[in-house]
Structure 1
Amino acid sequence: MLAPAGVAAILLASFAFFWHSRDWNSASRLMLTYAIVDQGTIRLDAYRAQTNDIAQVDGRYYTDKQPGYSLASVVPYAIAKAALGLPDHPIGGPALRYWPGDYWATLGTAGLATAIGAAVLVVLAGRVGCRPRGAALIGLAYGLATPAYAYATMSYGHQLASACLLASLALLDRPGALRPGIGMAAAGFLAAFGSVVELSAGPISALLGLLAVARVISRDVPVRGLLAFSAGAAGPTALLMGYNVLVFGSPIDIGYAHHATQQFAEVHSAENPLGLRGPDWGKVLPLLWGSYRGLFFYAPILMLAPVGWAALLARGRVGLAIVSLLASVSVFLVNVSYPEWTGGWSTGPRLLVPLIPFAMVGVAGVVASGGKPAAIVSGLLALAGGGLILLFQGVGARLPQDVADPLREVVLPLWTGSRLPPWWIGERFTRTIVSEGVPGWFGRLGPGEQWLQFLPLVAGQLAAILALMAVLGRRPAPTPID
C-alpha cells in the first residue's frame, strides 16, 4: 500500500498549497455547509447575498445543487472550526471572495476526495499489471497533470462524485477483496452517493448497478451480494429523496427547477430541470482539442486512453474496460447535450472532469501493456499537462468562457507580469501558503517576480516524487488479477 498512500500524500500536500477565491458555483455548496453547521438549517435565506447560483421555493432560498458535496464538507468544516476557533460565517452581508472556512472545507472535501481517487487509480493500475512506479505514475498524472488538479482546490462537486464512482468500480472489479457482502454494500453506497453529489453522474451510477448484476450472473459474487449492493445504494437515495421533500415538497424535484436567477432559469426549468437538449455534434471537436476547452490540450496524457481500453479488452479485463469506457462516453454525451457546454469560468472542459479518472484507467492499460516505452511516453505527456495546469492554478484556475485562448490572452500575461486585463478581479495570482505565510517577503516582489512563490511547491513535489519512485523501484511488481 506504499504507492497509493505515497501518491495520496503528495497530492493532498499539493492541493493544500492553494487557496482560490470563491465564485457563485462553489458558494452555493459552501453556504449550505455553513448553514448546517453554524445555523442548524438547510435554508440559505441569511446567505442570499453570497451567491446568485441559488434556488427559490415559496420565498425561501436553498442551494440549487445536489446536497451531497455540502453534506460531506460538514465534517471537515466542523473539525476545522472547532480546532482553529473559526467564527461563524458572516450572514446578511455582501458576497465574500475569501473566508478561512472555504479553505478547510474545500481541502477536506474536494482535495481529500481527489487524493483518495488517485490512490484508487494506483490500486486499479496495479491490478491490470502496472509495476509499482507505473501505477504511481497513473495516480500522480491524474492528480497533477489533468484539470482534476484545479478542481481538487475548488468546491465543485466533480472530484467528490468522481472519487465515489471510481471507488465503487474498484470494489466491483474485485468483489472478493473484502467480504462480498461488505464490499458490495460499500460499492452500492458509493455509486448512489456519487449521484447525490452530482445528478449528471446518474448514468455512471446506473452502469455500476449493471456491473453489479453482471458480477452476480457470472457468479463472482452470490445473489445476496446484489441485495447488499441495493441496500448500500438505498441509504444515499433515501437521503436525497428526504432532502428534496423537505425543500421542494417532492422526492423527485431538484434545485435546478427553481432557479432564482434569470440567466440560469433560461437553461433549467421545471419542465427540463437538467437543461439538456439534443446532442450538438459540432461541439465534439472543441471539447476534445484546442486551447479553449479541449480535453486533450489540457490533459494530453488522456490521448492514450483509447489504446489502453483496447489493451485491457485484449488482456481479458472486459468489465473494467467497458465500464470505464462507457462512463467516459456518458459524461461526454451529457456535455455535448448541454447548452452551457463551456462550463463557464473554468480551467479546460469543466463538465468533462468527471470522466478523467475513468479515462486514466485506459491509460493504465497502456502503461501495463507497453512496458518502459509506454511509461516514458506517459511521463512526458504528464509533464506537459502538469506544467500547463500549474499555470492555470497559479492565476486562480477560473478563466472566463468568452476568452477564446485563455492561455495566451490571460494566463501567460499574468505570469510574466504584463498589465492585468481591465476586467480581471482580484490579485494577479491566487493566494497560496507562501503569500499568506510570508506576506512581507511576498509584498516586496514586483509583478514579474511573484511567480517565485510557486518554486517551493514544485521543488517539494519533485523531491517527494523522486523519493517515492526510488523506494518503489526496489519493490517487486504486483501479480495482475484477471
Structure 2
Amino acid sequence: MNHLKRLSLLTFILSLILLFASIKGDANSFSRNSSFTDASTGSPFESSSSSSRYVLTQALFKSRSFLLTRDQAKFASPDVAEHNGKYFTLFMPGISFMGLPFYILGSIVGLPQLGTFSLNFWLAIINVFLVAALAKRLGASWSWSLLGGFLFLFGSNAWAYALTYSQHHLAVFATISLLLISTHSLTVKNNLLFGIIFGIALLADFPNPIILSPIAVYQLSRHFHFHRNKINWSWLFMGAGVLPFLVIFAYYNLKTTGSPLLSAQFVGRSKEFNVATSVPAETKSVPEVRSPGLHLPLKSRSLIRGFSILIFSDERGWIYYSPMVLVGIIGLVLTLKKNSSNPVPNLIFAAICFNLLIYAMFGDPWGGWSFGPRYLIPATAMISVFIPVFMQKYGKNVLVMSGFLVACVLSIRLATLAALTTAHVPPKQGAEALPVPIPHTPKLNSNFLAANKSSSLIYNLSFKNQMPANTYYKLVFALALITFVTLTGFAVNSKRV
C-alpha cells in the first residue's frame, strides 16, 4: 500500500471517528429508539425537516403508504400538508425513499431512528472523497485534494447536517457526481448514470434541478456538433435515466394530492396543528393579500437582503460561519482568470450563482431555525474544490499559509460546536420575538455547552458522568484539528501527484 492509499485510509478512519463521536442522541433516544419522538433542542428530531421526512419513511415501512396518520402528521408539523383529509410530508419524498433500507436495517437491531439517519452519515463520508476527486481533476495533488474534502465536511455546517435526516448531503452527492461525469467521455453508461443521479436529485428537493441546470445543459450540449452536422444520440439515455424518477414523482403526487401534477409544496402547510413555526416574526406580522394565479416562493425584491443574510450576516453568513470559503473563492477567481479550456470551473461558478440566487430570493433565506447557511451546503462543497487548487500553488507563502490556518481553525471550531450541540438556531427576528429572547448566533451553541449539555449520543451514553460537556467538545475539536494539521503536513510535503 503506497502512502497516498494510506493517507486516504487515514482520512476515512478519522472522518468516521469524528462523525461517530457526534451522532445525535441520549440514553432516552437510544433505549426508546423505535418510539422516540422528543423534538427538544439537541435531539435527533429538533428540526421538522428531519421528523417530517422520517415519518414518511416510517409510514412506508409500517403502513406501506405515502400517507401519514394524524399522530405522525402532528409530529411532522409544521412541515406537513393536508389535502382532502389526507396528511403527507411537505417535502419531496426522495430522502424518505432512500432512507427506507436504512430504517429496515436499523429496525432489525431495534434502532430504526439511528439506522435511518445513518443515510447522511455515509453520504457525508462519500462526499469527502467526491470533493477530493474533483479537486484532483482540476490539477491539485491527491494530498491537497483530501484536505479539501475534509474541510468541506468538518470546516462547515455540513458536519452538523450530516447528523440530520435532510436533503443537503444528497444534493452535494448529486452536484459533485454530475460535475465529475461531465469530465468524462459521452458513453451510454455515463449518460444513463447522469440521468439517474439528476433524477434522484430532483426527487430529493425542488431547487436541485435548477442548481444543476448549468451542468445538465453543458452535458447535453456536448452531444450536438452543428458545425459538423453531427449529433451523438446517446443523449437520449440522459432522458431515459431521469424518466423513472419523474414517473415515481407523478405517482407519489397522485397518491397524496390526487393529481400527478400537484405536489405538496403547492398545497402548502396544514394549519391544523398549533405549532410555532421558525419563520421570522417580521414575515408573519403583516397579512399578505394574495392575487389570483400561481404564487412562487422566489421574489427578486428580496435578492439584496437575502444575499446579505446568506453571505455576511451573523445569522447565516457563509463567510461568518466558514471563513475558509474565502480561500476557495480566491482560488475560483484565479482559476477563472486563466481562461482554461477546462469547463468545470465555469460550471461550478454558474452552479454556485444559481444556488445563491435561488435562496437569496427565497421567502425564508434563513432556512428556518438552522446553523449557518444550510441552503449553501452544495455551494460549500463546490468552493472547497478550489481550496487545494489554490493552496498547492500559493501554500509555500508564509502569509497565505498563516491566513489559511487561521481561517480553517475558526471554521473547524464553529463546525465542531454545531455538531456537538444544536443546528436549531433561530433567525434574529425569531429570537427577539420569543417571550424570553435567546441568541441568534453561535452564542446559543456556546450556552448549550455552558449548561453542560451536548447532543452527542456517545457523550450522553458513556462520558456524561465522567467529564463536562465542554471537555468532550474540546477533545473532539482537538481530534479534528490534529486531523487537519496532519493532512496539511502531508499536503505541504507531498509531490504533485
Q: Do 1:203 and 1:330's aligned partners in 2 also have CA atoms closer than 8 Å?
A: yes
Structure 2: unaligned runs, 5 residues or longer: 25-42, 272-276, 433-438
Paired with 1:12 and 1:234, the residues of 2 have a C-alpha distance of: 35
Q: Which residue of 1 aligns with 2:93?
A: 67
Amino acid at match of 1:431: S
CA RMSD of aligned residues (A): 3.0
Per the alignment, do residues 218 and 171 of structure 1 end up closer, same or farther by CA in structure 2, a change over 3 Å counting? Answer: farther
Paired with 1:340 and 1:428, the residues of 2 have a C-alpha distance of: 29
Shift of 1:474: 7.9
Matched, 1:453 2:472: yes
Q: Do 1:162 and 1:194's aligned partners in 2 also have CA atoms closer than 8 Å?
A: no
Matched, 1:312 2:335: yes
Shift of 1:189: 1.2
Aligned length: 442
Per the alignment, do residues 223 and 377 of structure 1 end up closer, same or farther by CA in structure 2, a change over 3 Å counting? Answer: farther
The secondary structure found in structure 1 opposite 2:223 is helix
The secondary structure found in structure 1 opposite 2:82 is strand
Shift of 1:72: 0.7
Shift of 1:76: 1.4
Paired with 1:74 and 1:273, the residues of 2 have a C-alpha distance of: 33
Per the alignment, do residues 271 and 444 of structure 1 end up closer, same or farther by CA in structure 2, a change over 3 Å counting? Answer: farther
Matched, 1:278 2:300: yes
Of 84, 100, 105 in structure 1, the residue corresponding to residue 116 of structure 2 is 105
Q: Which residue of 1 aligns with 2:141?
A: 131
Please give the residue correspondences for 1:81-160 in structure 2 after superposition, counting only pairs within 5 Å. Answer: 81-82=107-108, 84=109, 86=110, 100-107=111-118, 109-160=119-170
Per the alignment, do residues 358 and 457 of structure 1 end up closer, same or farther by CA in structure 2, a change over 3 Å counting? Answer: same
- Larger CA deviation: 119-128 vs 316-325: 316-325
Q: Do 1:66 and 1:198's aligned partners in 2 also have CA atoms closer than 8 Å?
A: yes
Shift of 1:240: 1.6
Per the alignment, do residues 10 and 272 of structure 1 end up closer, same or farther by CA in structure 2, a change over 3 Å counting? Answer: farther
Of 441, 445, 464 in structure 2, the residue corresponding to residue 442 of structure 1 is 464
Q: Do 2:416 and 2:477's aligned partners in 1 also have CA atoms closer than 8 Å?
A: no
Paired with 1:250 and 1:365, the residues of 2 have a C-alpha distance of: 48
Amino acid at match of 1:442: K
Per the alignment, do residues 183 and 57 of structure 1 end up closer, same or farther by CA in structure 2, a change over 3 Å counting? Answer: same
Amino acid at match of 1:306: I
Please give the residue correspondences for 1:213-292 in structure 2 after superposition, counting only pairs within 5 Å. Answer: 213-217=220-224, 223-262=232-271, 272=294, 274-280=296-302, 281-292=304-315
Cα deviation code 1:63-103 (max 9, x no counterpart)? 11001110111121212222x1x2xxxxxxxxxxxxx4322
Q: Which residue of 1 aligns with 2:37?
A: none
Cα deviation code 1:144-188 (max 9, x no counterpart)? 001111111111111112211221111112337xxx221221122
Q: Do 2:91 and 2:264's aligned partners in 1 also have CA atoms closer than 8 Å?
A: yes
Q: Do 1:188 and 1:209's aligned partners in 2 also have CA atoms closer than 8 Å?
A: no
The secondary structure found in structure 1 opposite 2:182 is helix
Q: Do 2:66 and 2:252's aligned partners in 1 also have CA atoms closer than 8 Å?
A: no
Q: Do 2:409 and 2:481's aligned partners in 1 also have CA atoms closer than 8 Å?
A: no
Amino acid at match of 2:465: G
- Larger CA deviation: 127-136 vs 352-361: 352-361
Shift of 1:386: 0.6
Q: Which residue of 2 aligns with 1:422?
A: none
Matched, 1:47 2:85: no
Shift of 1:6: 4.7
Paired with 1:336 and 1:467, the residues of 2 have a C-alpha distance of: 37
Matched, 1:327 2:355: no
Amino acid at match of 1:230: G
Amino acid at match of 2:232: V
Shift of 1:282: 2.5
Q: Do 1:126 and 1:135's aligned partners in 2 also have CA atoms closer than 8 Å?
A: yes
Paired with 1:279 and 1:456, the residues of 2 have a C-alpha distance of: 45
Shift of 1:371: 4.3
Paired with 1:273 and 1:10, the residues of 2 have a C-alpha distance of: 47
TM-score (normalizing by structure 1): 0.83
Per the alignment, do residues 248 and 375 of structure 1 end up closer, same or farther by CA in structure 2, a change over 3 Å counting? Answer: farther
Please give the residue correspondences for 1:286-365 in structure 2 after superposition, counting only pairs within 5 Å. Answer: 286-313=309-336, 314=338, 316=340, 318-365=342-389
Of 405, 412, 421 in structure 1, the residue corresponding to residue 446 of structure 2 is 412
Amino acid at match of 1:140: F
Matched, 1:430 2:455: yes
The secondary structure found in structure 1 opposite 2:87 is strand
Per the alignment, do residues 362 and 462 of structure 1 end up closer, same or farther by CA in structure 2, a change over 3 Å counting? Answer: closer
Paired with 2:396 and 2:160, the residues of 1 have a C-alpha distance of: 29
TM-score (normalizing by structure 2): 0.80
- Larger CA deviation: 353-362 vs 189-198: 353-362
Paired with 1:461 and 1:306, the residues of 2 have a C-alpha distance of: 23
Paired with 1:148 and 1:378, the residues of 2 have a C-alpha distance of: 19
Paired with 2:115 and 2:163, the residues of 1 have a C-alpha distance of: 10
Paired with 1:160 and 1:273, the residues of 2 have a C-alpha distance of: 27
Amino acid at match of 1:361: V
Shift of 1:432: 2.5
- Larger CA deviation: 22-31 vs 240-249: 240-249
Amino acid at match of 1:37: F
Amino acid at match of 1:181: V
Per the alignment, do residues 462 and 392 of structure 1 end up closer, same or farther by CA in structure 2, a change over 3 Å counting? Answer: closer
Q: Which residue of 1 aligns with 2:184?
A: 174
Paired with 2:172 and 2:293, the residues of 1 have a C-alpha distance of: 28
The secondary structure found in structure 2 opposite 1:261 is coil
Paired with 2:248 and 2:441, the residues of 1 have a C-alpha distance of: 42
The secondary structure found in structure 2 opposite 1:292 is coil
Q: Which residue of 2 aligns with 1:26?
A: 50
Paired with 2:374 and 2:199, the residues of 1 have a C-alpha distance of: 22
Higher relative contact order (CA 8 A, sep 6+): 2
Q: Do 1:55 and 1:64's aligned partners in 2 also have CA atoms closer than 8 Å?
A: yes
Of 182, 187, 210 in structure 1, the residue corresponding to residue 217 of structure 2 is 210
Paired with 2:476 and 2:488, the residues of 1 have a C-alpha distance of: 18
Q: Do 2:57 and 2:96's aligned partners in 1 also have CA atoms closer than 8 Å?
A: yes
